[in-house]
A and B are shown apart, each in its own frame.
Chain A
Amino acid sequence: MPEKKLYVGTRKGLFIFERNGAGYELVRSSHLGIPVQNTLFDMRTGRLWALLDHGHWGQKLSRSSDDGKTWEEIESPKYPDGEMVNDDTAATMRLIWVAATGSKDQPGRVYLGTEPGGLFQSDDDGESFELVRSLWEHPSRKSWFGGGRDQAAIHSILVDPRNHDRVLVGVSCAGVFETTDAGKTWAVRNKGLRADFLPDPNSEVGQDPHVVVAAPSDFDTLWQQNHCGIFVSKDGGMNWADVTTDGPANFGFAVAVHEKRPQTAWVVPAVSDECRIAVDGKMVVCRTDDYGRTWTEHRKGLPQKDCYDVTFRHALDVSGDELAFGTTTGNLFVSGDGGESWAAQGNYLPPVYSVHFHRG
């Protein structure tokens, strides 16, 4: 059985947990005091990446070849001179929000999603990065805007394992964009989404996917937790169906999909927009096994009183029937039974930004 391990990026460093018996224990920490926005384990190279958001010193990339024991800093990508966010604002690197590898037959390919909306690409394992100009120069790009942040940002990057020329990105706020020709052209994939915060909720661009994930077993099944609900696509993003409920499965940030069953997904709901706290002061995970037609609530082992935790968009992950999520209040919960019951593995972590299972 492969080793079970969790990478937990927090406001105050990276924490690595390993399975020990029935639970997980903290075995290593790094970058203490530094916000670790996200992590990436590259199965092709065995390298672990940490995306750092120094409060003072800017955005940095840190890389480890020994699973976090030692780290090297590599040069962060730069927006080319003269690039503008809009007519008034020069583009500067404000956040490296997500990293993704290319497919197995693309050695060295790494993508970074950033604020103010640039996708960067490396073909030498991060030694150098280039702005993906085709997306940056998309006719809609200067109309993108920030959702919860000052400027638009790419938070989701999905590389189709069947065809690496097909890549989808999720942008807050703009929506989902897809290339099928290795980044030469990009198409908007927002049909069926709605943006209740816009004068025209059905606007082609301006949607706010909080995160977009693809089913590992069927890359044409895509899920997104959106600012305005939960949406699923069974045709690779061409059409989205609203599967939001009147119950708690509504507002939130994170969504995860089962590795083998594309119809099974989980969300960690919060009270909407204005509040962003746990629903009724109680933590709940909702699960669907039928593409979102119905959702079940799971609370066993989760706090059901005086709880104000929220789970951010990269802070929920699934591996087999095991799930893990972290919260803004520094709790880390793990489930071994598909999300039906949970156990806290840490209650005193810094605010959690990302949780990822090791995939080796």
Chain B
Amino acid sequence: MARVQFTRHLSRYFPDLEQNVEIEGNTVAQIVSGLDSRFPGLAAYIVDDQGALRQHVNIFIGNELIRDRKRLGDEVRADDSVYVLQALSGG
């Protein structure tokens, strides 16, 4: 199972969100879906109402930014570390 780590900013809205959440899934979309089952409502913070990655959110697999921001089809392997981070923007 992939291990998922999060920006600490998400813990404001999901106080129970721990780091290194282990989630099963072969794609980023499946990982996000699994996260939403564990933490209801979390997916809506990461992806928009059409399932695309929000403009100011980044997801990395290892050190690589995912390529498919629209459908989250990037492959995730069992030993991958996935990072859900906040893009730098705004003021």
- Could you list which residues of chain A lie within 8 angstroms of chain B, going by C-beta atoms? 54-58, 60, 73, 75-79, 81, 90-93
Measured in the bound complex, the distance between the Cα atoms of B86 and A57 in whole Å is: 9
Measured in the bound complex, the distance between the Cα atoms of B50 and A73 in whole Å is: 20
Which partner residue on chain A sits nearest B89 by CB separation? A55
Inter-chain contact B50/A55, CB cutoff 8 Å: no
- Contact residue among B9, B48, B89 (Cβ-Cβ distance under 8 Å from A58): B48
Which partner residue on chain A sits nearest B10 by CB separation? A57
Inter-chain contact B54/A73, CB cutoff 8 Å: no
| CB of B49 within 8 Å of the partner chain | yes
Inter-chain contact A55/B90, CB cutoff 8 Å: yes
User: Residues 48-91 of chain B: 1 if any A CB is under 8 Å from the residue's CB, otherwise 0?
Assistant: 11101010110000000000000000000000000000110110
| 7 interchain residue pairs of minimum CB distance | A78-B49, A57-B45, A55-B90, A56-B56, A93-B49, A92-B50, A92-B48
Contacts of A81 in B (CB 8 A): 50
Measured in the bound complex, the distance between the Cα atoms of B10 and A92 in whole Å is: 22
Number of interface residues of B (CB under 8 A): 18
- Could you list which residues of chain B lie within 8 angstroms of chain A, going by C-beta atoms? 9-10, 13, 41, 44-46, 48-50, 52, 54, 56-57, 86-87, 89-90
The total of Cβ contacts below 8 Å across the A-B interface reads: 46
Which partner residue on chain A sits nearest B56 by CB separation? A56
Contacts of B9 in A (CB 8 A): 56
The secondary-structure label for the interface of chain A is loop
Knowing A55-B56, A81-B50, A93-B49 touch, does A76 contact B44 (C-beta < 8 A)? Answer: yes
Contacts of A79 in B (CB 8 A): 49-50
Inter-chain contact B54/A58, CB cutoff 8 Å: yes
Contacts of B46 in A (CB 8 A): 57
Inter-chain contact A75/B44, CB cutoff 8 Å: yes
Contacts of B90 in A (CB 8 A): 55-56
- Contact residue among A57, A75, A77, A91 (Cβ-Cβ distance under 8 Å from B54): A57
Inter-chain contact A56/B86, CB cutoff 8 Å: yes
Inter-chain contact B45/A58, CB cutoff 8 Å: yes
Contacts of B57 in A (CB 8 A): 56-57
Inter-chain contact B50/A90, CB cutoff 8 Å: yes
Measured in the bound complex, the distance between the Cα atoms of B43 and A78 in whole Å is: 13
Could you tell me the distance in whole angstroms from the C-beta of A210 to the nearest C-beta in chain B?
24
- Contact residue among A55, A56, A92 (Cβ-Cβ distance under 8 Å from B49): A92
Measured in the bound complex, the distance between the Cα atoms of B76 and A319 in whole Å is: 57
